[in-house]
Structure 1
Amino acid sequence: MQNLLLLHGALGSEATLFPLKEQLQPYFHTYTLGFSGHGGKAIPAAPFGMDMFAQDILNLLDEQQLESTYLFGYSMGGYAALCFARQHPDRVKGIFTLATKFDWSPETAAKETRLLNPAKIQEKVPQFAQTLASRHAPQNWKEVMQKTAEMMHHLGAQPPLSAETLAEVTVPVQVGVGDRDNMVSVEETTWAYRQLPQARLLVLPNTPHPLEKVATEKLSQEIRQFCS
């Protein structure tokens, strides 16, 4: 069986990928990864960023003695997967991204980070605040959110994935987005697909952004087809 590593999104944890992992385990040697500072891992003093998350991927592959693997990245996880493939193409067999934001500028970063206000979240959506508190315990979810916002501002100022750098990702890539995603547009996803040398485009019908609202069985089938 092929190796497959699942990567979570911003403010997520590897536990958010367990339902998908369960679907895929009969077909792959399936692994999940919690990025630094997420899911209860110690929050590093250094800023969150793609170099840090790419190093997390490399560390896991080395720890598990995986020479190469397929990568599935949800949202931010897809961005990290592509950045990792630029640095270590020999360790990647292919990448499947879903709901990954490619349109980063100071304006889009400002728009995205307006939603990352811990005080407002606690006041207006306390259930989500409790979910984040449980997900990142014993660490402080508010600090995870603050460092995520800082990372987004950095992505807006200096996005590491441009037309030029995406063209350097030579492994096969399937770029996926839901047609009802209110955070990632079909247009920006199509733009990324057109920059990648070996890419396919997938638009999932009736699919919003949150991973828990994606049809897991359908997503599993698409991943299996891509990796075959």
Structure 2
Amino acid sequence: MTWHHFADGVEAVLTALDLRDVRLFGYSLGAAVGLEIARRCADRVSRLALHATNTQWTSREVERMTAGLRDVPPAMAARFQALHGDGWRQSVESMIAFAEGLPSAWIDDEALGAVAQPALISIGDRDGLFEVEAALHLARTLPHARLWVLPGVQHALSTLDAEAFAEAVAAALADAPQ
């Protein structure tokens, strides 16, 4: 399981449906997948809005991500059980294995620099999973990107003002210049 594998599926759908002028919004892993799709399918993807993501993982970030998965608190275990049934532990192990492979599967600066579509890169200043510096690096490396740091926002979408966020994303994905 890698984001490249997820991107294979998205690319297959775009190709099968012959979609053009696709405007992608992605959050967290979905944003990394969206970026990979924009890189691979530049003729199909016209704009991006990417929130709370990273494409160049370090072992420190992997540790931060997997720490809570290795020692699942009882309340979270109950929630996982309710959502995923008896297979939840295997799902968690798969997530840990996925995360551990991220440092060797990143999108390098040269590939990022080739993503020419306009992009809004956003992150909460209290993300907890990713550093603001990762978003800043992404915004600086993509040739037509702008960065939006949301004050007081954590990684979970539930911590942001959904209406204001949706308006900003819609504007970024619209045809008008930003």
TM-score, normalisation: structure 2: 0.86
Alignment of 1:166-177 (within 5 A): 166-177=112-123
In the TM superposition, residue 64 of structure 1 has moved relative to its aligned partner by 5.2
- Give percent identity, aligned residues only: 27
Alignment of 1:11-90 (within 5 A): 48-62=1-15, 66-90=19-43
Is the 8 Å Cα contact of residues 83 and 160 (structure 1) preserved in structure 2?
no
Task: Identify the match of residue 116 of structure 1 among 54, 69, 93.
Answer: 69
Tell me the equivalent position of 2:168.
222
Is 1:148 aligned to 2:101, yes or no?
no
Task: Identify the match of residue 101 of structure 1 among 35, 54, 63.
Answer: 54
> How many Å separate the matches in 2 of 1:94 and 1:185?
24
> How many Å separate the matches in 1 of 2:83 and 2:106?
28
Tell me the equivalent position of 1:195.
141
Q: CA RMSD in A?
A: 2.1
2:62 is paired with a residue whose SS is helix
- May I ask how many residue pairs the two structures share in their alignment? 174
Is the 8 Å Cα contact of residues 101 and 183 (structure 1) preserved in structure 2?
no
Tell me the equivalent position of 1:129.
77
Any gaps of 5 or more consecutive residues in structure 2? Answer: none
Tell me the equivalent position of 1:178.
124
Is the 8 Å Cα contact of residues 113 and 141 (structure 2) preserved in structure 1?
yes
Cα 1:114–1:168 change in 2 (3 A) is same
Is the 8 Å Cα contact of residues 61 and 130 (structure 2) preserved in structure 1?
no
Q: Which has the higher helix share?
A: 2
Cα 1:108–1:197 change in 2 (3 A) is same
> How many Å separate the matches in 2 of 1:221 and 1:150?
36
In the TM superposition, residue 103 of structure 1 has moved relative to its aligned partner by 4.4
In the TM superposition, residue 92 of structure 1 has moved relative to its aligned partner by 0.9
Any gaps of 5 or more consecutive residues in structure 1? Answer: 1-47
Q: Deviations over 1:132-166 (max 9, x none)?
A: 334445x822222222211221112x132121221
Q: Which runs of 4+ in 1 moved over 4 A?
A: 62-65
Q: Deviations over 1:20-70 (max 9, x none)?
A: xxxxxxxxxxxxxxxxxxxxxxxxxxxx10221102212343565533411
TM-score, normalisation: structure 1: 0.69
